Chains A and B, each alone.
Chain A
């Protein structure tokens, strides 16, 4: 049973560049959420995708965008990178219709460093 997989595991980018992170949900899951975790902080909700649409969004600027594909996999895109975007980006999958009590299954994350 494949869990949540994310790629790449590490990434180094320069300020102003753009980055795309990828996520495949756990087998059987159809909802993907993205979180940003800065060092020493808890994960911060970016947005959630279901049925290829953004269903909920946290307090992140429009530079952060995403996409979900028909096979439920998802991408997170960040434009015009800032130094403050350096963080661990976590993808989590779950089953729709039970978000309030459905446990999230997290991937190992992508560690993004912006220089």
Chain B
């Protein structure tokens, strides 16, 4: 079983729509959780950390469910610039990346 698994998508949504997707992780002792964004042929960049109580950063909302070992990311009012691959990242003794969920926002 992979350490971090994501729905690869792609999620193809119109501008202004809400899109949400999950990520599951295998190690129940994982300590920290993040979402990174990766644009095509670019390096990953930190989007946001994920806290136990859930957290928002503008149009982005992240949730953590330790009991079921998944985290989620919700994007409200999607913009064309949100088109990217979103990488779920989990820390145990190292940062483990999922394969990414591709989101395409169309005009």
Contacts and interface: CB of A to CB of B under 8 A. Distances in A.
Interface of A: 33, 35, 40-45, 48, 56, 58, 90, 99-101, 103-104, 106-109
A45 B4 CA distance: 13
SS class, residues of chain A in contact with chain B: loop
B99 A40 contact: yes
Contacts of A44: 97
SS class, residues of chain B in contact with chain A: strand
Given A44-B97, A103-B34, 4 more contacts: A45-B94, A45-B96, A101-B32, A103-B46
Interface of B: 4, 31-32, 34, 42-46, 49, 87, 91, 93-100
Of residues A44, A100, A107, which shows the largest number of chain B Cβ atoms within 10 Å of its Cβ?
A100
B21 to A, nearest CB: 14
A45 B99 contact: no
B99 to A, nearest CB: 5
B46 to A, nearest CB: 4
A42 B43 contact: no
B45 to A, nearest CB: 7
Given A41-B99, A44-B97, A100 B32 contact: yes
